[in-house]
Amino acid sequence: MKVNFTGRHMELTEPLKQFTKERLAKMTTYLDDIIDVHVILSVEKHRHMAEITLKTRASALVASATTDDMYTSITQAAEKLEAQAHKHQGKRNTRPHDSLKAGVVEE
């Protein structure tokens, strides 16, 4: 899974990137066809915002959170993304499929 980081009005540190990657590692249990992940971390006055965009073959999932702490924002955004991924997986697994119907073959 390829993760791209963008920092707006802040410096991206290695512990911050590592924490985000650890939180996003859980996504592979729900979605196995993840193509790209883009994480945007920004600070405006006392608001720390985290926006995560996850792209798969079929769709794109987006979650964002704003709190007073960057780590809390990342955690909340990742939890929202997990909920979306779980819902997406459920829809994919319960969708009715057109299956071949067993019938009598005439000779």
- Is residue 20 one of the residues assigned to a domain? yes
What separation in angstroms does the CA of 5 have from each of 10, 29, 50, 90? 12, 22, 11, 29
Range among 25-34, 48-57, 79-88 rated most confident: 48-57
The stretch 29-57 carries a mean pLDDT of 93
Q: How many domains does the chain have?
A: 1
Q: What is the domain extent for residue 70?
A: 2-88
Is pLDDT above 80 for 103? no
The answer to whether residue 46 is domain-embedded is yes
The answer to whether residue 47 scores a pLDDT higher than 90 is yes
What pLDDT digit, counting tens, does each position of 72-90 carry? 999 999 999 999 988 877 7
Q: Is residue 100 part of a domain?
A: no
The answer to whether residue 37 is domain-embedded is yes
Q: Taking the model in full, what pTM does it have?
A: 0.81
pLDDT of residue 61: 94
Q: CA 70, 17, 42: angle at the middle one, nearest 5?
A: 40
